[in-house]
Structure 1
Amino acid sequence: MLDVLSDREIVEKDIEALYLGNLKTVEFDIKLPTEGKFGSIISWHSKDDRWIDGTGRVHRPEYGKGDRIVPITATFSYGEVSMDKIYEVNILEEENKIQLEKVFPIVLEKKVNEEFYLPSAVAIQTKRGDVIAHSITWNEEERKRYGDIGEKTVYGRLTDTDYEIKATINIKRNIDIHQDKSTKVNSISTTKVRLKENTLFKKAQDRRLAFLLSVNDDQMLYNFRKTSGLDTKGAPEMIGWDSPDSLLRGHTTGHYLSALALCYAATNNKTIFGKLTYMISELNNVQLAFEANGNYGFGFLSGYSEEQFDLLEQYTRYPKIWAPYYTLHKIFAGLLDSYNLAKIDLALTIADKLGDWVYSRLSVLPNKQLKKMWGMYIAGELGGINESLAELYIYTKKEKHIKSAKLFDNDRLFFPMEQKIDALGSLHANQHIPQVIGAMRIFDTTKEKKYYEISHFFWKSVVNAHIYSIGGTGEGEMFKQPFQIGANISDNTAETCASYNMLKLTKNLYEYENDVRFMDYYERTMFNHILSSTDHECKGASTYFMPTRPGSRKGFDGENSCCHGTGLENHFKYTEALYFTDEESLYVNLFVASEIDDEENGIQIEQKVHDPFSGSLELDIKKLRKNALKIRLPYWHKGAVKILVNQLEYFAKELDGYLVIERQWIKGDKVSIQFAPTLRLEATPDKKNIVSIAYGPYILAAISNQENYLELPINEENLHEKFIRIKDTIHFVYEPEQIKFVPLAEVNHEHYHLYIKQNTLI
């Protein structure tokens, strides 16, 4: 029979004959045959090897992460004919196998006759010691109001388990939920600060400026125009995460708006301003087209329809939908940056209507539904839309906008922070950092102290227990358990978006705290992660992860990923935290060659720094109406600081981590400061023999394509003996083996090591 069948007929019959069983509820490995009934050779390819690979091996998603539908492609070949068939495999998430050690106490304080909701998640500890957030199912309605003073107890259980829990609620006559806390310092506007030429920071900024000038604005508008029914003007389709079939399309356009606004503020480039005004004008036309359509809520604006928002409200899982409020946040942020930084009023008009759309949609949903939505992995990712809505309220004073911001409160993240418990392990890092920025922004507007306490505790938790030496956080996008850094050295560490957002949070907290520890972290992350994240070829590409695996390389992504989006913005933000002021002082926090020209406020200063920064700086005073200069005393400095004022030695007092220089300043005054940076080792908290080598603010990368750890017989005492510094650089050579160490920002495509093994036995 086979003799009379053609090659094509054999392949078609094998495709028809192959049955893989029930693919809708897969829990175990699938047998994928390599030969068809009629003789075809079958090869297999999975679209996502994380859940099922080409051999049929299945890895089920963790409990709480949702099922995964993964297409697997079978290629049938016989003779000269080859044909594909795609099978969709629905892989079920794992059952809840939690083994409980303890539930951290749920204790609430509420005002008599005040309506409130019980938390939908709580911090727990498992028997193996992991601390995580877990959802709660209460035995009664979660909305409460008590009319009498006293202690109340409510019972429930951990969702999908038999573990019982309780909440103790103390009802009091009066509770002050507000905190009278004002900012102690304020940053000098980026419009008043400029980077100096021929530095790593300015070169990175110039490369990104060149890329922005090359971007096709109509391409950035393609998805918006197509969805709203407007002419796409012959523009090419977007690519990557913004391609017409992507569920995240539109997010890069939001980042692009922010990048243009930030670029204009940082450079005053008129062409950039023209591109931004064009984008805003055309997005206004898109929003008006949606309004005229009649099938959308008033004020809607997106690169796709409202369908994903509808599906989220039905608890549809990722990847069937992909973070609709995250994408909306990027558009919001771009509009508000255009208004705030470039003073384009039309951008606020668009954002105002979009804010009304959010309130109209979400204000009618039950609290329980909202909390479940925001707790969903990826699908419920909301970016920092609460931040944008709180900022919008500052401009519009519409109560619905600040109410909308609070509708995004996520108990899975927020309530453990209120408990003062680090339950970040297993949470998606960059899904949650922006939500905390939003909490800070809500505090800025309402002074409700819980939002500040959440933000402050979150920052301390991340910086003290979850960062790599370069300041980045997360492995495979996820927070791990506290202090597990050495155990998570890989190619997929330190997502760049996470550092972008941690710096936003750090700056906001510093303005309230005026604590040098915030600027120590800011410096670490800006100098070592953000500066290192851009390509050196003006292609606009950025690192997604910053690999820490021995012998790894940076991978520069130009296809509209999330980190490509924040990468468009990052290099125009370098001046945001250089300088701050209070009533009496100018604070110099970061040591970057730059110039302040703020004649209106009486500050005109040039900071001269050899780049890369090697410990010395000079401040040329043209005008300074403040009485005091306060220079951050960096954590990496050892010994005495040498200070000269107009070539005369000056003995500055040290106050709260700052060197204080006080005088009546006149034009022509010069201040010279020489810090004493040294080589040092920074060990991972869990594996003390895995260390980074640092000099001053820089983490040094060893240039080597060896894929095992470099094992070097070094300690704090012999570093200067083993490492020879190359003149006029921050480059060092490990003398015995001639291994070169350089700041990570100077590495482009070379293989490198950020961590080495300290071997005292060699």
Structure 2
Amino acid sequence: MAYKVKETFSSALLNQQTVTGWLGERMKANTENRLYKVEETALLAGFINKPGVHPWIGEHVGKFLEAACNSYKNKNDTKLKIQIDRTAQQLIASQLSDGYLGTYDPENQWTSWDVWSHKYDLIGLLSYYELTGYKPALTASERVGDILINKFGDKPGQLDIIKSGSHVGMAATSVIDPMTDLYRFSGAKKYLDFCFYITKSYNNPKGPRIISTLDSIGRVDKTANSKAYEMLSNLVGLAKLYRVTADEQFLKPVLAAWKDIAEKRLYITGTTSSFEHFQDDHLLPASNKDNMGEGCVTTTWIQLNFQLLSIFGDMKYVDELERSVYNHLTGAENPQTGGVSYYTPLMGAKPYKSVITCCMSSIPRGIAMIPLFTNGKINGSPSILFYQPGVYKTEINNNETVAFNTKTSFPENGNISIEVNPSNSQKFEVLLRKPYWATDYKVSINGTPQIVSDKAMISLNRTWNKGDKIEVNFSLPVQVLDGGISYPGAIAFQRGPQVLVFDKLLNPTLPQEFSVQANNFQLQQAYNSLPVKWVGTQAYQVKATADGKPANIVLVPYADASQTGGVVTTWIKAEK
């Protein structure tokens, strides 16, 4: 079923684009170092031999399937497809005759994290169905939906979904997310009605009151128990519910939550939460002991921004996607090993591990989503949003096609060349995003300068011929960011979309205490400071003071930092 709300932004088809360069290498590492190495037996064991070893062990297989399906669509990786087929079919085969597809023994079904795990069953199986058209995957999903409908509701003998999930019921009610998708794929209104039941249940006794609280005070830290991952999961579901119903009551709290997070609870690297909860206004502690930036929260924040981008096509959502992707999302997965950091600090070593955790399964999902919003269409016009090298193909004007071939070293520099190759000479609009951080932004076509407005999107509407060249050039200025109430007297550096940080292992002779001038600094290239096998090519030197003496420190992008175990310092003491 089509969405009732117009899709202002539509993603590029994953099989019609190739992302290379810095982001492409991260996506490749995600597949080869993480997805290839997923322990299928461990993910499926609890479904085959109940009970599972952990209350939420059932979530991981669905997360893997979603990430792997997106990666396969983009890369057509035969090895990964074999892994996907094997995993999906074993999951389907483990479903009980009544539709139950969890890891709990009979006496404990529908307690704790059981509904939550069924949510991820739906996400994984519907991703597989969308990829392959394999009807048993949809049938298994419908059977999951049917057992949920039968078990939970307001009728005599039915269970209260709020009482069947952790965190004021939000873990269970977050199944609203894939239930909207099940409604779209099946066309069965009963699944939509179940979504309405969930929104009504928010106001049950001891319910999370997500909609009513956000409508009234607009603060996520004062909503339910402020648990970030579960609340964001519900918000993604509400955004999807708005898209299939066009009912503004479901969109209003989502926008209130987004505004509150973006303005008051977002780290400079594009994540949120400390100790897995939203904190008070502008309180953003960032050390290892603060358990900041849970990986599941980062990925779900990305999902929420993607939904809002699809609805509105507003570049403010791309700004947040870019902030997360170039910093906290990719920074949570070690590009050398594929290990994932559950909490990824701005101050301290990133604790990368390769064990089964919720975040180990979530971060790969976020990375596999990247091609969904690097390019696409806004109101039908091809749109270049992330300036990464690669190829983007799409249809224009009555099934004619066009391919955009982008060459650039971004984010090292801001020089981009885009070759436009329509199947035939055609008049159509091309949109270019002008990043909020870029200066000296210039555009030319075949050497002819174009007028650049102050809008976030630059429109190029003309007749395009094969081989036309769009040249985009901009500067990546260094911004000095203030440490706020959590790090008073400290600053951080942002170059283009990337936050730059101090990695102790790249600065072995410097003491732990040093300072930099906030208003008098200059970055210089320092490629030679990077060790052998370091993934990434960016390093910058800046003057500092250490033990009262002049010194030079090396900064690298946050996403690259700590890959060899170095202690990260993002908030650096500012010289008075």
Whole-Å separation in 1 of the counterparts to 2:400 and 2:163: 47
Q: Contact 2:62–2:122 at 8 Å: present in 1 too?
A: yes
Relative to the length of structure 2, the TM-score reads 0.86
Corresponding position: 1:545 with 2:348: no
Whole-Å separation in 2 of the counterparts to 1:216 and 1:476: 28
Q: Contact 2:177–2:237 at 8 Å: present in 1 too?
A: yes
Q: CA deviation at 1:636?
A: 1.0
Structure 2 residue aligned with 1:719: 521
Q: CA deviation at 1:440?
A: 0.7
What SS is found at the alignment partner of 2:555? strand
Whole-Å separation in 2 of the counterparts to 1:392 and 1:613: 42
Alpha carbons of structure 1 residues 520 and 709: separation in structure 2 relative to 1, 3 Å: farther
Alpha carbons of structure 1 residues 220 and 685: separation in structure 2 relative to 1, 3 Å: same
Alpha carbons of structure 1 residues 757 and 367: separation in structure 2 relative to 1, 3 Å: farther
In the TM superposition, 1:635-650 aligns within 5 A as 635-638=436-439, 640-650=440-450
Corresponding position: 1:564 with 2:360: yes
Corresponding position: 1:223 with 2:55: no
Specify which of 194, 202, 208 is matched with residue 24 of structure 2.
Answer: 202
Structure 2 residue aligned with 1:513: 312
Whole-Å separation in 1 of the counterparts to 2:540 and 2:191: 54
Alpha carbons of structure 1 residues 368 and 479: separation in structure 2 relative to 1, 3 Å: farther
Structure 2 residue ranges without an equivalent (≥5): 203-207, 529-536, 544-549
Q: CA deviation at 1:518?
A: 1.0
Alpha carbons of structure 1 residues 533 and 602: separation in structure 2 relative to 1, 3 Å: same
Structure 2 residue aligned with 1:128: none
Q: Which has the higher contact order (CA 8 A, sep 6+)?
A: 2
Structure 1 residue aligned with 2:211: 414
Alpha carbons of structure 1 residues 536 and 501: separation in structure 2 relative to 1, 3 Å: same
Alpha carbons of structure 1 residues 708 and 447: separation in structure 2 relative to 1, 3 Å: farther
Structure 2 residue aligned with 1:258: 66
In the TM superposition, 1:562-711 aligns within 5 A as 562-583=358-379, 585-598=381-394, 602-623=401-422, 627-638=428-439, 640-655=440-455, 657-686=456-485, 689-704=489-504, 710-711=513-514
Whole-Å separation in 2 of the counterparts to 1:486 and 1:299: 44
Specify which of 551, 556, 565 is matched with residue 737 of structure 1.
Answer: 551
Q: CA deviation at 1:272?
A: 2.0
Instruction: Give deviations 1:613-664, integer Å, cap 9, x for gaps.
Output: 42221211112856222211111123x3222211232223343x11222211
Structure 1 residue ranges without an equivalent (≥5): 1-178, 228-242, 292-297, 313-320
Whole-Å separation in 1 of the counterparts to 2:251 and 2:482: 31
Alpha carbons of structure 1 residues 342 and 530: separation in structure 2 relative to 1, 3 Å: farther
How many pairs are equivalent?
539
Structure 1 residue aligned with 2:11: 187
Specify which of 215, 221, 230 is matched with residue 424 of structure 1.
Answer: 221
Alpha carbons of structure 1 residues 338 and 615: separation in structure 2 relative to 1, 3 Å: same
Whole-Å separation in 2 of the counterparts to 1:360 and 1:533: 39
Whole-Å separation in 2 of the counterparts to 1:634 and 1:424: 30
What SS is found at the alignment partner of 1:576? helix
Whole-Å separation in 2 of the counterparts to 1:536 and 1:512: 33
Whole-Å separation in 2 of the counterparts to 1:367 and 1:611: 59
In the TM superposition, 1:298-377 aligns within 5 A as 298-310=98-110, 312=111, 321=112, 323-364=113-154, 370=160, 372-373=162-163, 376-377=166-167
Whole-Å separation in 2 of the counterparts to 1:247 and 1:646: 60
Q: CA deviation at 1:531?
A: 1.4
Alpha carbons of structure 1 residues 369 and 685: separation in structure 2 relative to 1, 3 Å: farther
Structure 1 counterpart of 2:218, one-letter code: I
Alpha carbons of structure 1 residues 486 and 271: separation in structure 2 relative to 1, 3 Å: closer
Q: CA deviation at 1:218?
A: 4.2
Corresponding position: 1:756 with 2:559: no
Structure 1 residue aligned with 2:546: none
In the TM superposition, 1:18-167 aligns within 5 A as none
What SS is found at the alignment partner of 2:524? strand
Structure 1 residue aligned with 2:205: none
Q: Contact 2:5–2:244 at 8 Å: present in 1 too?
A: no
Instruction: Give deviations 1:431-459, integer Å, cap 9, x for gaps.
Output: 21110000011111111111111111111
Q: Contact 1:374–1:408 at 8 Å: present in 2 too?
A: no
Alpha carbons of structure 1 residues 664 and 367: separation in structure 2 relative to 1, 3 Å: farther
Q: Contact 2:151–2:158 at 8 Å: present in 1 too?
A: no
Please, which moves more after superposition, 602-611 or 354-363?
A: 602-611
Q: CA deviation at 1:374?
A: 7.2
What SS is found at the alignment partner of 2:146? helix
Structure 1 counterpart of 2:192, one-letter code: I
Q: Contact 2:150–2:158 at 8 Å: present in 1 too?
A: no
Alpha carbons of structure 1 residues 406 and 225: separation in structure 2 relative to 1, 3 Å: same
Q: Contact 2:220–2:257 at 8 Å: present in 1 too?
A: no
What SS is found at the alignment partner of 1:719? coil
Structure 2 residue aligned with 1:213: 36
Whole-Å separation in 2 of the counterparts to 1:367 and 1:186: 43
Q: Contact 1:418–1:450 at 8 Å: present in 2 too?
A: no
Structure 2 residue aligned with 1:271: 79
Moved >6 Å (runs of 4+): 366-369, 705-709
Alpha carbons of structure 1 residues 593 and 383: separation in structure 2 relative to 1, 3 Å: farther
What SS is found at the alignment partner of 1:746? coil
Whole-Å separation in 1 of the counterparts to 2:122 and 2:38: 21
Alpha carbons of structure 1 residues 354 and 515: separation in structure 2 relative to 1, 3 Å: same
Whole-Å separation in 2 of the counterparts to 1:701 and 1:366: 58
Structure 2 residue aligned with 1:164: none
Specify which of 388, 391, 397 is matched with residue 178 of structure 2.
Answer: 388
Q: CA deviation at 1:334?
A: 0.4
Whole-Å separation in 1 of the counterparts to 2:125 and 2:354: 23
Q: CA deviation at 1:215?
A: 4.2
Q: CA deviation at 1:373?
A: 2.7
Larger Rg: 1
Q: CA deviation at 1:380?
A: 5.2
Alpha carbons of structure 1 residues 557 and 378: separation in structure 2 relative to 1, 3 Å: farther
Instruction: Give deviations 1:280-308, integer Å, cap 9, x for gaps.
Output: 32222211xx21xxxxxx21111233544
Alpha carbons of structure 1 residues 381 and 666: separation in structure 2 relative to 1, 3 Å: same
Q: Contact 1:382–1:435 at 8 Å: present in 2 too?
A: no
In the TM superposition, 1:496-535 aligns within 5 A as 496-535=295-334
Alpha carbons of structure 1 residues 260 and 489: separation in structure 2 relative to 1, 3 Å: closer
Alpha carbons of structure 1 residues 518 and 568: separation in structure 2 relative to 1, 3 Å: closer
Instruction: Give deviations 1:368-393, integer Å, cap 9, x for gaps.
Output: 97474378427752374101001100
Alpha carbons of structure 1 residues 750 and 419: separation in structure 2 relative to 1, 3 Å: same
Whole-Å separation in 1 of the counterparts to 2:434 and 2:105: 52
Structure 2 residue aligned with 1:70: none
What SS is found at the alignment partner of 1:536? coil
Q: Higher helix share goes to which structure?
A: 2
Q: CA deviation at 1:256?
A: 1.7
Instruction: Give deviations 1:151-181, integer Å, cap 9, x for gaps.
Output: xxxxxxxxxxxxxxxxxxxxxxxxxxxx985
Structure 1 counterpart of 2:446, one-letter code: N
Alpha carbons of structure 1 residues 573 and 423: separation in structure 2 relative to 1, 3 Å: closer
What SS is found at the alignment partner of 1:701? strand
Q: Contact 1:185–1:514 at 8 Å: present in 2 too?
A: yes
Whole-Å separation in 2 of the counterparts to 1:374 and 1:614: 51
Please, which moves more after superposition, 728-737 or 474-483?
A: 728-737
Q: CA deviation at 1:603?
A: 2.8
